[in-house]
Amino acid sequence: MSGTPQRSEPGASTANPPPPGLDGALEALWGTPRGWGRLSAVNHTIVGRRFIVTAFVFFAIGGLLAMLIRAQLATPANAFLGAAVYNQIFTMHGTVMMFLFAIPMFEGLAVYLLPKMLGARDLAFPRLSAYGYWCYLFGGALVVGSLVLGVAPDSGWFMYTPLSSRPYSPGIHADVWLIGITFVEVSAVAAAVEIVVSVLKVRAAGMALNRMPIFAWYLLVTAGMMLVGFPPLILGSILLELERAFGWPFFDPLRGGDPLLWQHLFWLFGHPEVYIIFLPAAGVVSTVLPVFARRPLVGYSWIVVSIIAMAFLSFGLWVHHMFAVGIPHLALGFFSAASMMVAIPTAVQIFAWIGTLLRGRPVFQLPMLFICGFFFIFVAGGLTGVMLAVVPFDWQVHDTHFVVAHLHYVLIGGFLFPMMAGAYYWLPHFTGRMPVHHLGTASFWLVFVGFNLTFLPMHLTGLLGMPRRVYTYAPGLGWDALNLLSSVASFVMAIGFALFVVDIALQRRFGRPAPADPWGAGTLEWAMPLPPPSYNFASQPAVDGPLEPTRLATAIMTGEQHLGVTRNGWRETLGVDAATGRPDQVLLLPGPTFLPLWMALATGTFFVSALFKLYLLSLAGAAAVLVLAILWLWSMGERRDPPLVPIGLGQSALAGPADRRSPLHAALACTLVADASFFASLAFGYAFLWVIAPNWPPPALPAPSPALAAMAAAGLVATTLGAWRAGRARSPVAPLALSALGAAVAMGALAATIDRLPSVSAHAYGAASAALGAYALFHCGLALVAALYTIARVRAGFVSPVRHLALCNTRLLAGYAAVTGLIVVALLHAVPAMVAP
Amino acid sequence: MTADRRAAHGLATALAAFTLWAVAFTALYVVQALGCRYAWSPLLHQAMLFGVWLVPSVALALMLGFAWTARRGRMARVGLAATAAALVSTLWTGLPLLLASTCV
């Protein structure tokens, strides 16, 4: 049997032969070069696969670390690992699993599957996906490499201060985490922007919001959560690194800082993170389960409501990780109530799944086995979660192994089992071959039994008082046998995962070729040959009713649907109105390029240099990122107005319109949402220190300077007015110049304001105020660069009354800089005068 | 309103409703902290807390009424159900006001 997968032709028995040359012409357009050229790949299928494979490698590393942890804890007073090494290992286990496996695995699945499910040929920004992948790979390698060098983070994956502060964590251990994980977060935010814009703008014609596959809803909401949830952690990491590297005392209570600020910022990210991990996995369940239940998902609309509810409610739970820090009872009550509330939308989904099974005719195939395992484990984890939401109970088991058991039940049950179900479900899509069931079944039982025997006893050791994060324990406390059982069972679970890998390899080599739509699914990724061609669809389907991949496949393959042509060497995919799915443009996507790789290397230069305190080199890296970003943006757009082109089925659309409809405009809006979350977290930190931190008000405050405040405000207003006027003026150059001038004036005033602040290392007031000022300064700088860039675009002929995207984006950016800048000016100038005695 | 616009409107309603919940929740936490830090009188503190609890609740109740009148189409019903869920969430998460003292 050949090891090379053979591509099956969907609907081959009834299909007409494809138009001569269409497949070949599309492959020539959408394919990726061989050899070194592979590094220039931007195709979503390739980038998605890379994400998934890399995430799985990191999962294996995290799993090995887990086995070392269990080997150490198997017996009391064990000398297998010392405390210092153990600290690095348990920190890296959590870090790798959360940041380098779970999130990137979801991103990879989204990057690979979304366009195929949405009936598109690629994502909105192929180069952004590729850039995100390289940042993930380099950042992950940096973090994991530190383990090899013995300088891995050792303060826990949550990096609580003061343990992670310089006096208690010398060396670069903590810096590796702060800088490496921030590097990886760049990838996550890029992926979030990519996913939101792609779901909203890049779909098949006629696929209105309420016709989207439920998986797309899950990914849309998850990506939206990432935009809001990740910036607080990025901010916290920057502030802690500033404290460690330069002595800015954000978290030092002796100098007006507060360690609780770190906990707030971390858990503002950390709790939504749990749902960011769970929701895509729940999306897999909502996609796979109806296929094997042989009926459509029960309660589609209710599930959409519950996803949205979970997304919001999950942001109201962060303090439930801080129940033991001494917060007033009333505040604890708010967060306890929210923690219980979030169980309801979770339950809605579980009941919808059960309803689907009850009303269907379930077929019990391998993916369903993993879904059943998910039900059992996740519900158990959810119930212990409700227990932990009850404050008095939480106080009893806080920082014990009960919490370790709970979080593993939620994360392994809620993420890993659905992902393994998804792996077996979509493997025919990746490889073109069917699973070999017997090995998969054995793998399931080993993982399921091993998991429960590992973590169920931890509830008991936790209730018996065994603390987390200790490298050993004394004998005779009643923990010995339970720990030994956990450790032995963890190795059984590991064998199960190893068998899963063997099974995948065997399937890829020996599995029988997958037929078209092997599971009888109802989503468009099955309406293409297996494994998929680089362009996904020879023509993009028009969705006008229930999705029936087998029925649609013939018309798609014969080029009878949308864009069943090639022209001008364009990589075309349809862009649609977000709500209705009506085609409103033809997107012209970029081909293979090394630009994302170079930009990720420049980004890496910035981060790695900062890690080794080579700040000049770091600044050079940042400058290189800026130059490459400008080159990247400059390569987009045309010097002529977009032509109206036929898109098939008797319809026409503009090819690459450069106006508000462009995905670039939506991408900027999404980026600013993430930016606003960062800013809100910074403002929260500033207010938190004023209100809660000890040793406030500060010993020294700057004298009021109404002139500087007025100058900064005037500059900011000019920045936004100029950019706004440019969109309406016959010649936009003069208003853009005014915008640039305003930004320059505001920068000068803000720099002078920062210069007048008290020492940034003497008290947190100076540090927090300088951080706010620097934020506004940076954004004024961005507005200045945007105005100058747009002037250059106008002069180069890229802007016309029809092609005004650059003007729209400059206006949006300048407006954001002005609004946040004015808030910063108010905080820096007015608040000290109002609040100080 | 066309069916197309109703779809967009339904999603916007759902997002607006839960944004209002988020604002109410954050305001409760902020007012609780400010009142304790600056030692507001118990009456003022309680009044402010009940204000930031009940005003968004009333706003959500009004939104629910509007969503009920425009409930044609799947996405409009999503907006309606989300508004109801946001209202219940706001009422529920503020309930500790009736049970716990403010600054202990």
Give tens-digit pLDDT for A324-376: 898 889 999 999 999 889 999 999 999 999 999 999 999 989 999 999 999 99
Helix, strand, or coil here: A766?
Answer: helix
**Helix ranges (DSSP H) in A413-468:** 417-431, 437-463
Whether residue A693 contacts residue A256, with contact meaning beta carbons closer than 8 Å, is answered with: yes
Q: Is a pLDDT exceeding 80 seen at residue B6?
A: no
Q: Mean per-residue pLDDT for A1-30?
A: 57
Mean pLDDT for chain A overall: 93
Q: Give the per-residue pLDDT at A7.
A: 46
Vertex A137 angle, CA A132 and A140, to 5°: 115
Instruction: Quote the DSSP letter at residue A255.
Output: G
Instruction: Quote the DSSP letter at residue A647.
Output: E
- Across the interface, whether the CB atoms of B77 and A301 are under 8 A apart is answered yes
Q: Give the per-residue pLDDT at A436.
A: 74
Residue type, A225: M
- Across the interface, whether the CB atoms of B25 and A331 are under 8 A apart is answered no
Q: Is a pLDDT exceeding 70 seen at residue B35?
A: yes
pLDDT, tens digit, 9 for 90 and up, residues A498-521: 999 999 999 888 888 998 889 999
Q: Mean per-residue pLDDT for A172-181?
A: 97
Q: For residue A575, list its beta bridge partners.
A: A585
Q: Give the per-residue pLDDT at A625.
A: 97
Q: Is a pLDDT exceeding 60 seen at residue A5?
A: no
Q: Give the per-residue pLDDT at A256.
A: 95
CA A493 to chain centre: 28
Q: Is a pLDDT exceeding 50 seen at residue A9?
A: no
Whether residue A248 contacts residue B46, with contact meaning beta carbons closer than 8 Å, is answered with: no
**Helix ranges (DSSP H) in A74-149:** 83-95, 103-117, 126-148
How many whole angstroms separate alpha carbon A728 and alpha carbon A128?
31
Buried b / exposed e across B29-40, counting CB within 10 Å, b at 16+? bebbbebbeeeb
First to last CA, chain B: 52
Whether residue A441 contacts residue A366, with contact meaning beta carbons closer than 8 Å, is answered with: yes
How many whole angstroms separate alpha carbon A103 and alpha carbon B59?
36
Instruction: Quote the DSSP letter at residue A757.
Output: S
Q: Give the per-residue pLDDT at A522.
A: 86
Q: Give the per-residue pLDDT at A123.
A: 97
Whether residue A272 contacts residue A228, with contact meaning beta carbons closer than 8 Å, is answered with: yes
The residue whose two tokens read 């296929």 is A291
Q: Give the per-residue pLDDT at B1.
A: 56
How many whole angstroms separate alpha carbon A539 and alpha carbon A120?
9
Q: How many beta-carbon pairs below 8 A join chains A and B?
A: 107
Contacts of B5 in chain A (CB under 8 A): 579
Q: For residue A583, list its beta bridge partners.
A: A576
Task: Look at residues A648, A779, A807 and name the one whose alpha carbon lies nearest to residue A712.
Answer: A779
Q: Give the per-residue pLDDT at A10.
A: 42
- For residue A201, the distance in angstroms to the closest alpha carbon of chain B comes to 13
- Interacting residues of B47 by C-beta distance below 8 A, sequence separation 6+: none
Q: Give the per-residue pLDDT at A12.
A: 38
- For residue A548, the distance in angstroms to the closest alpha carbon of chain B comes to 21
Residue type, A176: V
Read off the tokens for A276. 């960011």
Contacts of B45 in chain A (CB under 8 A): none
Q: Give the per-residue pLDDT at B70.
A: 84
Nearest residue on chain B to A694, alpha-carbon basis: B37
Whether residue A783 contacts residue A719, with contact meaning beta carbons closer than 8 Å, is answered with: yes
Contacts of A580 in chain B (CB under 8 A): 4, 7-8
Q: Mean per-residue pLDDT for A32-51?
A: 95
Strands A644-648 and A583-589: unpaired
- Across the interface, whether the CB atoms of A210 and B73 are under 8 A apart is answered yes
Q: pTM for the complete prediction?
A: 0.94
- For residue A579, the distance in angstroms to the closest alpha carbon of chain B comes to 5
pLDDT, tens digit, 9 for 90 and up, residues A199-243: 999 999 999 998 999 999 999 999 999 999 999 999 999 999 999
- For residue B98, the distance in angstroms to the closest alpha carbon of chain A comes to 10
How many whole angstroms separate alpha carbon B77 and alpha carbon A353?
20
φ and ψ of A156, to 5 deg: 90, 155
Q: Is a pLDDT exceeding 90 seen at residue A684?
A: yes
For A669-698, the DSSP string reads HHHHHHHHHHHHHHHHHHHHHHHTSSS-S-
Chain B residues 39-78 with a CB less than 8 Å from chain A = 73-75, 77-78
Whether residue A68 contacts residue A89, with contact meaning beta carbons closer than 8 Å, is answered with: yes
Q: Mean per-residue pLDDT for A139-165?
A: 95
Whether residue A694 contacts residue A253, with contact meaning beta carbons closer than 8 Å, is answered with: yes
Q: Is A302 on the interface with B (CB under 8 A)?
A: yes
The larger pLDDT score, comparing residue A545 to residue A697, is at A697
For A15-45, the DSSP string reads PPPPPTTHHHHHHHHH---SGGGGGG---HH
Q: Is a pLDDT exceeding 50 seen at residue A179?
A: yes
How many whole angstroms separate alpha carbon A121 and alpha carbon A639?
25
Read off the tokens for A828. 């820096």
Whether residue A231 contacts residue A169, with contact meaning beta carbons closer than 8 Å, is answered with: no
Q: For residue A644, list its beta bridge partners.
A: A654
3-state helix, strand, coil in chain A (%, to 5): 65, 5, 30
Ramachandran category for residue A546: left, alpha or beta (phi over 0 → left; psi -120 to 50 → alpha): beta
Q: Mean per-residue pLDDT for A536-547?
A: 87
Q: Which of A300, A337, A691 sits opposite B34 (nearest CB)?
A: A691
Q: Is the ipTM above a cut-off of 0.90?
A: yes
Read off the tokens for A321. 């990780």
The larger pLDDT score, comparing residue B72 to residue B42, is at B42
pLDDT, tens digit, 9 for 90 and up, residues A366-401: 999 999 999 999 999 999 988 998 889 999 999 999
- For residue A343, the distance in angstroms to the closest alpha carbon of chain B comes to 12
Q: Mean per-residue pLDDT for A421-443?
A: 90
Read off the tokens for A579. 């709500």
Name the residue ranges covered by the structural domains of chain A: 44-119+189-230+275-510, 697-835
Helix, strand, or coil here: A448?
Answer: helix
Ramachandran category for residue A478: left, alpha or beta (phi over 0 → left; psi -120 to 50 → alpha): left
pLDDT, tens digit, 9 for 90 and up, residues A466-490: 999 999 999 999 999 999 999 999 9
pLDDT, tens digit, 9 for 90 and up, residues A293-313: 999 999 999 999 999 999 999
Q: Is a pLDDT exceeding 60 seen at residue A124?
A: yes
Instruction: Quote the DSSP letter at residue A295.
Output: S
Mutate to test the interface with A, among B2, B20, B74, B95 (most CBs of A within 10 A): B74
Q: For residue A588, list its beta bridge partners.
A: A572
Q: Is A593 on the interface with B (CB under 8 A)?
A: no
Q: Mean per-residue pLDDT for A434-446?
A: 88
Read off the tokens for A803. 């092609």
Name the residue ranges covered by the structural domains of chain B: 3-96
CA A110 to chain centre: 10
Helix, strand, or coil here: A512?
Answer: coil
Chain A residues 99-158 with a CB less than 8 Å from chain B = none
- Across the interface, whether the CB atoms of A579 and B8 are under 8 A apart is answered yes
φ and ψ of A530, to 5 deg: -120, 130
Q: What percent of chain B has pLDDT over 90?
A: 74
Contacts of A329 in chain B (CB under 8 A): 100-101, 104
The pLDDT-based confidence of A163 (bands split at 50, 70, 90) is very high
Say how many residues make up chain B: 104
Q: Is A834 on the interface with B (CB under 8 A)?
A: no
Q: Is a pLDDT exceeding 80 seen at residue A130?
A: yes
Q: Is a pLDDT exceeding 60 seen at residue A825?
A: yes
Task: Look at residues A200, A214, A208 and name the one whose alpha carbon lies nearest to residue A301.
Answer: A214
φ and ψ of A670, to 5 deg: -65, -45
Q: Give the per-residue pLDDT at A550.
A: 75
φ and ψ of A400, to 5 deg: -110, 175
3-state secondary structure A307-333: HHHHHHHHHHCHHHHCCCCCCCHHHHH
Q: Is a pLDDT exceeding 60 seen at residue A2?
A: no
Q: Which helix (H) or strand (E) holds A573?
A: strand A571-576
Helices (H) and strands (E) in chain A, counts: 25, 4
Instruction: Quote the DSSP letter at residue A477.
Output: S
Architecture of domain A44-119+189-230+275-510: Up-down Bundle (1.20)
Task: Look at residues B93, B95, B24 and name the one whose alpha carbon lies nearest to residue B63.
Answer: B24
Instruction: Quote the DSSP letter at residue A121.
Output: S
- Across the interface, whether the CB atoms of B4 and A312 are under 8 A apart is answered no
Task: Look at residues A822, A733, A808 and name the one whose alpha carbon lies nearest to residue A780.
Answer: A822
